[in-house]
Structure 1
Amino acid sequence: MDKTPPSKALRNLHLENVACQSTPLRIPPSPFMKSLGYGTCVNVYKLDRSPRCGQMRSPWAVKRISRKARFSGKIEYNTRIKEEAEILRKLSHPNIVGFRGLQKTEDGVDSLALECCQTCLGTILEDRLADCLGALPANKTLKMIFDVSKALDYLHNEAKLLHGDLKSFNILVKNDFEICKLCDFGVSLPLDKDGLINFRENPNLQYVGTDIWSAPEIIDREDVIDQKADIFSFGLIIYETIALCPPHTLNLNDDESEESFKENSNNMSVDEFDISFERACGTRPPLPQAFQLTTEYNTVVELFYCCTNEEPEDRPTAKAIGASLEKNELLGKK
């Protein structure tokens, strides 16, 4: 049975947590917190909060620019944290990570306090690959798809935002897929009343996302995009749950030398290999043949193909994805 708490209860809890912050945040320096992970030029820490009135309080995740980025002058990443905070203040949805507060330290670094989840989908998939466990179970993949589709539907149609950097590491997971939440809104972009982003008319807007998860219209630098750019990236996350690695990297290893690259790519030069790899971005990667998928994965594979259609109009909306799964018997299966 699906033990996900009712959406209204979760939303009310989120609002209560934000509203109760009548006292200033006190976020300690990084060395006094446990590291949870890191991203491009940012670090994430776990802040264990002391009990209040004899009651235990849930921990927070604290996101701040890394020391290396700070001292190398990459201040734009601190700006993104502030922009993310302003976005999250306005969002309220059970499948979007909750905002808890923003604090500036004496040295000018902003710390974003967020709802803390146990792990992220990317880490879960990495661990499965390391332990040779095969594709993520179909019921858990469908639960993730269902939860994130609801977050994207809210984001696209109510908040009027394009997430802009969907990938497995930006999907948080609580307990054993009890609930999944979308995070990392530092490069999100506003959608207009028609659900579009016109870069020609808004030259200050820039799509920053990660190339290997990007839609073809992003790679081709088209002047106008819509919410379907997120849907293509979402399809590549579905791919990750089967392949257990990022798209277009199935045969790559970060530790390989240039000689290994040449050997694994028909003796191409490293530059030729890089060009070939770049050309793969914005395309649908082939599913790995190593895993024998049962019929339970039929819906997963169908959604992967639908979401990664080349033409945006051929991809489903987030609302349609969620609706297609509402009565799926695997959602409640443990």
Structure 2
Amino acid sequence: MASLYLLCIFFLAFVCSLLLPASCDLAEERVALLDFISNVPHESRLSWSTNATTCSWVGVKCDDNQTAVIALRLPGVGLVGPIPPNTLSKLINLRVISLRSNALSGPIPTNLFSNLTLLRSLYLQDNRFSGQIPDSVLLLGRLARLDLSENGFRGTIPFGFNNLTRLTGLFLQGNGFQGKIPSIDIPSLVSFNVSDNKLNGSIPKSLEKFPLSSFSGNLQLCGNPLPECAPFFAPPAPSPADEVPPNSPKKKKKLSKAAIIAISVVGGVLLLSLLLILLFWLIRHRRNRNGSVGEKKVPRVVTGQAVMETGTTSSDIGIGGEKERSKLVFFDNRLYSFDLEDLLRASAEVLGKGIAGTSYKAVLEDGTTVVVKRLKDVVASKREYEVQLEILGKVNHDNIVPLRAYYYSKDEKLLVSDYLPNGSLSAFLHGSRASGKTALDWDNRIRIALATGRGLAHLHRTSQVVHGNIKSSNVLLRPDPDSAALSDFGLSPLFGMAGPACRASGYRAPELLDTRKATDKSDVYSFGVLLLELLTGKAPNQTTVGEETIDLTRWVQSVVKEEWTAEVFDVELVKSGDQNTEEEMVQLLQIAMACVNQIAESRPEIESVVKMIEEIASLCRGEVEDSIRQSSDDRSNGPTPPAAVTP
């Protein structure tokens, strides 16, 4: 009967090739899938009805045109025994294979991956595979995620993994690999694990960035981050000349520990006293110098709306012995025709109060609407302020809110930018549903994440600017989620060592407690927190466990560590999502976890993060991969695979 059944399938494929050439590939893939499942024992719940279309079968995903199978996900369905040869190898359009948590065994067929050149994610963990890693795996040039953990693979780890230049995650733990770890140096690699094998020798320099847990359980392995390797030659024995004869005079005694401490304390007290005297003198001198300065005016409220007054509209600033009237300075891309007097007469309402200052929505008499940010605690001089603002005024990108003008006086520092009426990401994620805002679905969230990442990548790569204050209230939305834009960028140099990045609760990278200086890597950390915020729906500084409030990053890490990954996702997403959505959410979670690595050097560059999110977004929206790579420098090399975890 089985032979007759397969004969019928082959006959249908032949008819298809004559009548419907466009669907032949899918017919051939249908035959290959049926051949696979009929030769591998499995649980009864995995039932592929021949009366249903191939694309409707459990675990099978097709492209938008229903002409090719692009993903096969059969985790934990009781598959038993070896993979039959010449079955899955015929699914030449596959991007994802997940056969994890089954009882598949034996060596992997040598030609299984020879034709799967589009494969990006391969999950075979928690099975009973044996033998060596097939050479065909090392030829999968688009592979981004490879998980062979918790099997019975043996032999050495091949150096050929370096051929997989797009690899972001390699998991080989829990096998029987022996010998030394090859020097695997792949720039995109953010997750790596070879723990619990039989490896020996020193850890290559290229892999020292990964944590101790990536190498534990290999008793003969050494080198950073494990204990240092023993020297090849034993240290020489001391020469007789170095030995002190028993009756020789004792060497002069060194200072005792107590004496050293006492000297240090006295020195410290003296230094502190000098600093206090200097500080007292500076404060007194500054009071004497500023004694005649009048009080600074602040916004006053008139008929329910704030009217901005700087108190400097008619002030004069002495420059080189001459007088110059303070004025708004517009950038070259001037779109507005108003001056400082017009701005000060505008009706205004407070949009928000942040670390850097207060933002107002200002409506001018002619109807023009702009955002005016009133900076506070600026320590930069007038010249430093102007130089930094000239740099920021040249930033031009669809995902960056452009600066239009600035103002500087002794008492007031203002920034003028476009007004985006759709509000901020924070308002949509954490605002009241009574305000009329609907919950953001998964498609909108991944598109906002991608837009924000592209804006940040432009700042880092093209403008050489550190954002320094990434948070959901600084992600402003437009009707098109792909046009979401970052605001409040590049202001940290104006505030010295106490800039916004150092005070942003929940978003602050751990190293800023010591360095007090925002960097590209601290921006990546904050962006990772933003991704966690999109995935969980929780504010970074409002996450509670019982009666304790902890930051969002710690909470997510604790949940994932206990393997309760699904618990971290926003219930709004879980309710409306399907299996594919959950897998994409897990993939973005893995990217976010790489961004919030405690070690700054171990975090990926924002360009790599954007490429990984682009791949998830392209699958989520069903677009052709190359069409979505707007920020990629080379479109001819095909799509970059995502940094996905196990689906």
TM-score by length of 1: 0.65
In structure 1, the partner of 2:109 is: none
Q: Is the 8 A contact 1:141 1:300 kept in 2?
A: no
CA–CA distance in structure 2, aligned partners of residues 161 and 264 of structure 1: 40
CA–CA distance in structure 2, aligned partners of residues 37 and 224 of structure 1: 25
Q: Which amino acid aligns with 2:595?
A: C
Structure-to-structure mapping, 1:135-150, within 5 angstroms? 136-150=440-454
1:228 aligns with 2:551: no
Deviations 1:211-243 (A, max 9, x none): 421122223x25887422111110101111233
Structure-to-structure mapping, 1:253-332, within 5 angstroms? 264-265=547-548, 283=554, 285-286=556-557, 288=568, 291=571, 293=574, 294=577, 295-296=580-581, 297-327=585-615, 328-331=618-621
Structure-to-structure mapping, 1:86-97, within 5 angstroms? 86-97=390-401
In structure 2, the partner of 1:242 is: 535
CA–CA distance in structure 2, aligned partners of residues 218 and 42 of structure 1: 20
Deviations 1:92-142 (A, max 9, x none): 22211111112458x9423321011121111111126778x9974221121
Deviation at 1:40, TM superposition (A): 3.1
The 3-state SS of whatever aligns with 2:415 is strand
Q: Which amino acid aligns with 1:218?
A: L
CA–CA distance in structure 2, aligned partners of residues 33 and 332 of structure 1: 43
Specify whether residues 314 and 128 from structure 1 end up closer, same or farther in structure 2 by C-alpha distance, changes over 3 A only: farther
CA–CA distance in structure 1, aligned partners of residues 619 and 524 of structure 2: 24
1:60 aligns with 2:365: no
The 3-state SS of whatever aligns with 1:141 is helix
Q: Is the 8 A contact 2:374 2:413 kept in 1?
A: yes
CA–CA distance in structure 2, aligned partners of residues 330 and 19 of structure 1: 38
Specify whether residues 223 and 64 from structure 1 end up closer, same or farther in structure 2 by C-alpha distance, changes over 3 A only: closer
In structure 1, the partner of 2:418 is: 115
Structure-to-structure mapping, 1:53-202, within 5 angstroms? 59-65=369-375, 74=377, 76=379, 85-103=389-407, 108-118=411-421, 119-127=423-431, 136-175=440-479, 177-185=481-489, 187-188=491-492
The 3-state SS of whatever aligns with 2:454 is helix
**Does 165-174 or 36-45 show the bigger shift?**
36-45
Q: Is the 8 A contact 1:98 1:114 kept in 2?
A: yes
CA–CA distance in structure 2, aligned partners of residues 23 and 289 of structure 1: 47
Q: Is the 8 A contact 2:497 2:517 kept in 1?
A: no
Deviations 1:230-288 (A, max 9, x none): 11110101111233332252128xxxxxxxxxx824xxxxxxx8xxx5xx587574463
The 3-state SS of whatever aligns with 1:60 is strand
The 3-state SS of whatever aligns with 2:405 is strand
1:33 aligns with 2:313: no
State, as a whole percentage, how many aligned pairs show the same letter: 21
Deviation at 1:48, TM superposition (A): 3.2
The 3-state SS of whatever aligns with 1:97 is coil
In structure 1, the partner of 2:506 is: 212
Unmatched 5+ residue regions in structure 2? 1-329, 558-566, 624-647
Q: Is the 8 A contact 2:405 2:417 kept in 1?
A: yes
Deviations 1:149-182 (A, max 9, x none): 1111111122222211211111111125251111
Specify whether residues 307 and 171 from structure 1 end up closer, same or farther in structure 2 by C-alpha distance, changes over 3 A only: same
The 3-state SS of whatever aligns with 2:463 is coil
CA–CA distance in structure 2, aligned partners of residues 223 and 81 of structure 1: 19
Q: Which amino acid aligns with 2:412?
A: V
Specify whether residues 30 and 126 from structure 1 end up closer, same or farther in structure 2 by C-alpha distance, changes over 3 A only: farther
Structure showing greater Rg: 2
The 3-state SS of whatever aligns with 1:154 is helix
Q: Is the 8 A contact 2:535 2:569 kept in 1?
A: no
Residue correspondences, number: 270
Specify whether residues 59 and 22 from structure 1 end up closer, same or farther in structure 2 by C-alpha distance, changes over 3 A only: closer
Specify whether residues 188 and 103 from structure 1 end up closer, same or farther in structure 2 by C-alpha distance, changes over 3 A only: closer
**Does 93-102 or 242-251 show the bigger shift?**
242-251
Q: Is the 8 A contact 2:425 2:472 kept in 1?
A: yes
CA–CA distance in structure 2, aligned partners of residues 78 and 36 of structure 1: 27
Q: Is the 8 A contact 1:211 1:281 kept in 2?
A: no
Bigger RCO (CA 8 Å, 6+ sep): 1
Deviations 1:53-75 (A, max 9, x none): xxxx762111114xxx7xxxx56
Deviation at 1:310, TM superposition (A): 2.5
The 3-state SS of whatever aligns with 1:305 is helix
| RMSD of aligned alpha carbons | 4.1
The 3-state SS of whatever aligns with 1:215 is coil
Q: Is the 8 A contact 1:212 1:281 kept in 2?
A: yes
The 3-state SS of whatever aligns with 2:484 is strand
CA–CA distance in structure 2, aligned partners of residues 129 and 244 of structure 1: 13
Deviation at 1:143, TM superposition (A): 1.1
Deviations 1:1-40 (A, max 9, x none): xxxxxxxxxxxxxx99824557645443387223322223
Q: Is the 8 A contact 2:429 2:440 kept in 1?
A: yes
In structure 1, the partner of 2:114 is: none
Unmatched 5+ residue regions in structure 1? 1-14, 52-56, 191-203, 253-262, 266-272
CA–CA distance in structure 2, aligned partners of residues 78 and 32 of structure 1: 30
TM-score by length of 2: 0.36
